[in-house]
A and B are shown apart, each in its own frame.
Chain A
Amino acid sequence: MLLDDVTSKNYSGSQWRQRVGYLPAISQWWGDGVREHFIHTIDPSLLAAWLNTLALDEAILDAPISTLSSGERQRVALLRLLANQPQVLLLDEPTASLDHDNTLRVEKLVAAYQAQHRCVAIWVSHDPAQLQRVAARHFAIEQGGLRPLAEAQA
């Protein structure tokens, strides 16, 4: 597998995972507060802008994880992933526990990030309408294989 013409064998596991960011459907938290789950320091103004896009208050960064709702956790999990500045995004139902408004906010943030970083994303969803909004090429997983669906309307 190649990333920017470099084979994956030339990256250590951790280097590869920072470049190819995977967002699992269920997020795991090990520290007390949100902030300590960011493994790189990130430009505070950029982070503030992201929080704003997702309609989250900046105070959430210092809140104990246990006080966050599942929707808040899902959104903050996306932020800690984007903070690694990945070149590829693998998103596994990233809006599963979000209401419609927040779903649109996440889609907007991912689109902005992709445009800015020229980043590829693979987005898994059960919502055909969402896939029409976020993805250019569509596939269905059937019997262990990929079946191409009709291209999205440009």
Chain B
Amino acid sequence: MTLIPLSLWDLSLAALLIIALALLSFRMQLGVSRSIIIAALRTVIQLMLIGLILKWLFGTTHPGWVILVALIMLLAAGREVMVRQQRRFAGVRSFALGTFSLFISTIVVTLLVLTVVISADPWYTPQYAIPLLGMMFGNTMNGIALGLDRLTQTAWQQRDVIEARLMLGQTPLQAISDIRRESTRSGMIPIINAMAVAGVVSLPGMMTGQILAGADPMDAVSYQILIMFMVTAGTGLGTIFAVAMASRHLFDERERLRLDRLQKAVV
């Protein structure tokens, strides 16, 4: 089995579908025609660029370039975690918190898989390292963002209860334990659900891509299982870590609730 390459002409035909949808939206005055066209153009340009970068990257064997690309992905994901918070910690702490949690969970799991499970030689072989990191960052980012958003929002809404528990002499850890548990759970639920329905309701995108590209379905499935496990472990670790750090930072050294450390996002 080999891949049937797509020509420019093939993609242009597919683009007609998008143009047809944009025209239909325009006729129905949905107000999204412009967004459809711009988003489609962004897809083309961004993916072409990353394709070029990957093509060049796969040709090199220097670990420095792989690390640089990984770093850019990390910072972009960290920024995304930050901007998704309705109420975030003031200053650089918000960015540092998310990025550090992403870093810890993603790097640990990915390095483990690259060296022990896949045993790529060398371990930083970009063909394996970059796609795995991409999947990891993308999913871990979602878990951390959800968990942190839930934590800060709930703490804000339930500040009277937290204060009352502190007043009764509970430690900060006890006073926020319920909220912390709920927030960590809500960060992990989507990925657990995704594992539960994989193959039944949804065919994961990576697997679909591999099969289209001519890979043996069982090989594609094996990699998909690996990815699912990695992503779930990374998301779980990252969410637990981020929510724990953020919970701690909601209180000061005198065990007072410090919601003044949060600021509302400017929408």
Chain A residues engaging chain B, CB cutoff 8 angstroms: 12-15, 17-18, 21-22, 24, 27-30, 37, 39, 80-81, 84
A17→B167 contact, CB < 8 A: yes
A84 to B167, alpha carbons, bound, how many Å?
11
Q: Which residues of A contact B160 (CB under 8 A)?
A: 28
Sample 7 A-B pairs with CB under 8 A, ordered by A number: A12-B255, A13-B254, A14-B170, A21-B169, A22-B167, A28-B165, A39-B168
**Nearest chain A CB to B88's CB is how many angstroms away?**
25
Report whether B164 and A24 are in contact in the complex, using a CB–CB cutoff of 8 Å.
yes
Contact present for B164 and A17 (CB under 8 Å):
no
Q: Give the docked Cα–Cα distance between A17 and B165 (Å).
A: 10
B166 touches A28 (CB 8 A): no
Residues of A within 8 A of B167 (CB): 17, 22, 24
Chain A residues in 8 Å Cβ range of B168 = 17-18, 37, 39, 80-81, 84
Is B62 interfacial (CB 8 A cutoff)?
Answer: no
Q: Are B161 and A15 in contact (CB under 8 A)?
A: no
Q: Between A and B, how many residue pairs show CB distances below 8 Å?
A: 45
Contact size class for B?
Answer: 10 to 19
Is B208 in contact with chain A by the CB < 8 A criterion? no
Q: Which of B142-174 contact A (CB under 8 A)?
A: 158, 160-161, 163-172, 174
Task: Tell me whether B10 is interfacial, beta carbon within 8 Å.
Answer: no
B260 at the interface (CB under 8 A from A): no
- B256 on the interface (CB 8 Å rule)? yes
Which of B161, B165, B169 has the largest count of A CB atoms less than 10 A from its CB?
B169
Given A12-B171, A24-B164, output 12 extra A-B contacts at Cβ < 8 Å. Answer: A12-B255, A13-B166, A13-B254, A14-B170, A14-B171, A17-B169, A21-B169, A28-B161, A29-B161, A30-B158, A80-B168, A84-B168
Q: Of B164, B170, B256, which one neighbours A27 at CB under 8 angstroms?
A: B164
Asked whether any CB of chain A lies closer than 8 Å to the CB of B178, the reply is yes
- Pairwise interchain contact B169-A18, C-beta atoms closer than 8 A: yes
